[in-house]
Amino acid sequence: MLQKIRSVIVEDESAAREALKSYLAKYCPQIEVVGEAHNSKEAISILHELQPQLVFLDVEMPFGNAFDVLDECKDLYFETIFVTAFSEYSLRALNQSAAYYLLKPLSIEELILAVNKVQKHIINNEIFNRNKIIVENFREPKPEKQQVILPTLEGFEVIKMENIIRLQGNGNFTDIYLSDKSKKMVCRFLKHFTEILPHPFIRVHKSHIINIHFVKSYHKGSGGYVVLDDNTEIEISPSYKDEFLQVFK
């Protein structure tokens, strides 16, 4: 028989807590809820006491947010499924860290999907401290100094954003070219990175996103093209040209 996943729910709204518990009981029988916390202070002590394998963590709470909880629990290892009311900032942070998150109001399908992914990690013993990177990113005010977790065919890689020169769409994948001349093939569409990468990244073509810090020169034309520090020439689509030139004004 499959071992249950010991889990804690951290959520300040009692109705939301009860709803999540009843969904888990009904649709995710592999989850055993061993504890609950109503705010970040309670969460920190309960997580140290119970040391669960999985935490359902509300992003915004009284007395601090999810990132404060993770910071205080960085000596613990657990998988996290964030639960959040939509906020562009927190979603970008979670996407950059390849975290699992559920939007309120909860979708049962999304909940089952997230729990199944976490279960797979736990069964395969894929120990990967995503929480540490989420906290580091949250504490780093300069976006280009933050890290992004890239899902590759072999697993995950953690890359500093400032080391990415450019990204190129490649069917269902994205090729990422780095300043050390290496290339990573990532299991995500290019559109995913348009949504999660902050300035200095800019889309210049349906197949290309570039880091403007690596632009060496720009050559005019209907859209024109740029030459990057690694001597790659990247065409600029006419539809992206104005946005590109705006950055350099």
Backbone angles phi, psi at 132, to 5 degrees: -60, -45
Of 147, 17, 130, 136, the C-alpha closest to 78 is 130
Structural contact between residues 57 and 97, judged by C-beta atoms closer than 8 angstroms: no
DSSP 152: B
Task: Tell me which H or E stretch contains 227.
Answer: strand 225-228
pLDDT category of residue 221 using cuts at 50, 70 and 90: confident
Structural contact between residues 210 and 226, judged by C-beta atoms closer than 8 angstroms: yes
Tens digit of each residue's pLDDT (9 = 90 or more) over 142-185: 888 899 988 888 778 889 999 999 999 999 999 999 999 999 99
Overall residue count recorded for the chain in this entry: 249
As a whole number of angstroms, the distance between CA 27 and CA 186 comes to: 31
**Which tokens in the block code for residue 81?**
């499924």
Write down the pTM of the prediction: 0.76
As a whole number of angstroms, the distance between CA 212 and CA 201 comes to: 6
Structural contact between residues 225 and 217, judged by C-beta atoms closer than 8 angstroms: no
User: Domains along the chain?
Assistant: 5-137 (3.40.50.2300), 150-247 (2.40.50.1020)
Q: Would you say residue 139 has pLDDT above 90?
A: no
